[in-house]
Structure 1
Amino acid sequence: MSDASLVERSADGDAQAFGVLIRRYGPLMRAYAARILGHGDGEADDAVQEAALQAWQRIDRVEDPDRVRSWLFRIAANKALDRLRRRHPHLDLEAVPDRADERPVDEVVVTRMQVDALARVVQNLPDAQRAVWVLREIGGASYAEVADQTGLTATAVRGLLARARQAVVTQMEGWR
Structure 2
Amino acid sequence: MMRAYARRILPGTAEVDDVVQDAFITAWEQLPQLDDPGQVKSWLMRITGRKAIDRIRALRVHADVDAVELPAPERAAPPRQAEARAGIAALSDALQQLPAAQRECWVLRELGGYAYEEIAEELDLSPSTVRGLLARARKDIIVRMEQWR
> Structure 2 length normalisation: TM-score?
0.51
Q: Percent same amino acid at aligned positions?
A: 40
Q: Does structure 1 residue 165 correspond to structure 2 residue 138?
A: yes
Give the structure with higher Rg (CA): 1
Give the corresponding residue for 1:107.
80
Query: How far apart, CA to CA, are the structure 1 residues paired with 2:116 and 2:82?
Result: 34
Displacement of 1:104: 1.6
Query: How far apart, CA to CA, are the structure 2 residues paired with 1:150 and 1:170?
Result: 25
Query: How far apart, CA to CA, are the structure 1 residues paired with 2:58 and 2:141?
Result: 38
* Correspondence for 1:141 among 94, 114, 129: 114
Structure 1 segments (4+ residues) deviating >2 Å:
90-96
Q: 1:81-113 CA distances to partner (integer Å, 9 max, x unpaired)?
A: xxxxxxxxx8684967xxxx6422101110111
* Correspondence for 1:120 among 93, 103, 107: 93
Displacement of 1:124: 1.3
RMSD over aligned Cα atoms: 2.2
Gaps of 5+ in 1: 1-89
Q: Which has the higher contact order (CA 8 A, sep 6+)?
A: 2
Q: Does structure 1 residue 130 correspond to structure 2 residue 103?
A: yes
Amino acid at match of 1:137: E
Query: How far apart, CA to CA, are the structure 2 residues paired with 1:91 and 1:154?
Result: 39
Structure 2 CA distance for partners of 1:91 and 1:133, relative to 1, 3 Å: closer
Give the corresponding residue for 1:153.
126
Amino acid at match of 2:118: E
Amino acid at match of 1:140: G
> Structure 1 length normalisation: TM-score?
0.43
